Structure 1
Amino acid sequence: MRLRADVWQEEGQPLTDGLMRRPLERCLIRANITCEQCRIGWHDLRHTYGSHLAMRGIPLKFSQELMGHATLEKTMRYAHLSPETKERAVQQLDAPASRNHTALA
Structure 2
Amino acid sequence: MKPYRRKLSSEDAATGSILIEKRVWRAFPPPMTEFDVDVAGARFATRIVAEDCACVPPPHQHYHLEAGHFRDLLDFARGSVIEIDAGDAGFVVRNG
Q: How high is the TM-score relative to the length of structure 2?
A: 0.21
Q: How high is the TM-score relative to the length of structure 1?
A: 0.20
| The structure with more helix, counted as a fraction of residues | 1
* Higher normalized contact order (CA 8 Å, seq sep 6+, divided by chain length): 2
| The structure with more strand, counted as a fraction of residues | 2
